[in-house]
Structure 1
Amino acid sequence: MPADFLQLAGKTVLVAGVANRKSVAWHIARLLTEADCRVLYSVRSPERREQVAKLVSNISGGNPDDVLVCDVEHEDQIERLADEVASRCEVLDGFVHSIAFADYEDGMKAFHETSKRAFLRTMDVSCYSLLAMSRALKERFARDASVVTISISTTRMASENYGYMAPIKAALDSSLAFLAKSFSADSEIRFNAVAAGLLKTSASAGIPGYVDSYLFAEQATLRHRAVSTEEVASTAVFLLSPRSAGINTQRVVVDAGMETNYFDADIVRRCVEGS
């Protein structure tokens, strides 16, 4: 196998959404850097930029000056990001959209009690931002660039503690086909998602009841071992590479087989005996 099997050396990828070293986006960025790929970063605030710049400076090949600020709730900042990317590279070979935010200012409520304000703000940040950022970066993308977003393994399971994020992730998933079709008029840019099972991240730690759901999900996998952030990142890196050129508008599920194992005999037995 060639040393550069993924053919990422010398390419440039923008990674949006790094929060800390536990972030999926950070694991993706680190793997890309190890593959001799130049990584540009987009983070939400100047404070986050300072934190992420420290992480970047500690990896070989990382450049803290390539950490840019863009709060996707503001269109002028998205346009500014596109200009800053253009000043740093002639061609952008890939874009990672790992941005998600849920407005729980009103607390956790039943889905039908979700406020319009909370729903629309969360949709703006977690879904519409993919469209807005892709549009702003369009002229910078290579003709065969790869865009990868981070989704969830299923949007059909009504997890109460995940609230209204699943319907918004469903909209994100649906956007892939429409973006790919729209961009296909004058390019071969691909749009795919890594649909991850439950992960241990800082963001997930803030979801009420998440730990219990995570422990259940771990037992429901076929291997009885949870999906790792590294496994999700590795799939994203593959989708960013030319080796995945034939994959477009797809959700690649990374859940260690959980969706096939809900009726695992041991789990069923424990539930029945405990009832």
Structure 2
Amino acid sequence: MSNAPGCLYVVATPIGNLDDITRRAVAVLGAVDAVAAEDTRRTGQLLTHLGLRRPLVSLHEHNEDQRTVALVGRLQAGESLALVSDAGTPLVSDPGYRLVRACREAGVAVLAVPGASSITAALSVAGLPTDRFLYEGFLPARPAARRRRLAELAGVTCTLVLLESSHRVAASLADLAAVFGGGREAALARELTKAFETVRLDRLDRLAEWVAADPDQQRGEHVILVAGAEAAAAAPPALATEAVLAVLSEEGIGARQAARIASRLTGEPKNALYRRIIGTGN
């Protein structure tokens, strides 16, 4: 391997099973001058497993601005560094963007060392279309903001990919079923490549009920994949419209704005929706 001086390597690491590390990643991690890691303790455990000893520098969302200047300086001085996240491919819902951007602006070489990713792993086993997909990442933590964002995403026609934490997966699935319609097909991929890996393809309402009823399915890291609007089984129009109106009402959105949003999401006439909202019937 040619380990040119002054190069930042963006290195993917396993998302669970440590045997998923690539031979190139091992070679790079063993050759660089230091490893910039989101969690130095977790990366230290990985390096120990690989039989490697390298200096570690913490780089996470709270210190990336301050550390970037020093790291770019080291790279410009001729050192080579590896950038890793907790797991998977760095910069995908992980810190590192500022460092990579600063390296590009400073003329420092940045090379990808590809490997594991929970996103592509989930897509490969979910059983949903993969020719087009939209990666949304984590939904907003607050319920009101989450439902507003889901209302904006309801009409997406390709497979939607979301990440979710153990604390919010049940609530997010319930909101998905309410906003998108319970009949929309979706898959939940949990703890991929780990001992308790679970992948289930079902309707959103059934997935939401299953996770709510089983605390074990709320543990670990989750990828939620939702079929695109055109590929989803069509729910009865009246039921879909009522679900949209209910969410907009919960968020305290005014009647005229709610009618405009609901019209765009359901295709029903704006004026008719407005009359329904204010209770004047047909």
Coarse TM-score class (shorter-chain normalised): 0.3 to 0.5
TM-score, scaled to structure 2: 0.33
Higher RCO, 1 or 2 (CA under 8 Å, sep at least 6)? 1
Higher Cα Rg: structure 1 or 2? 2
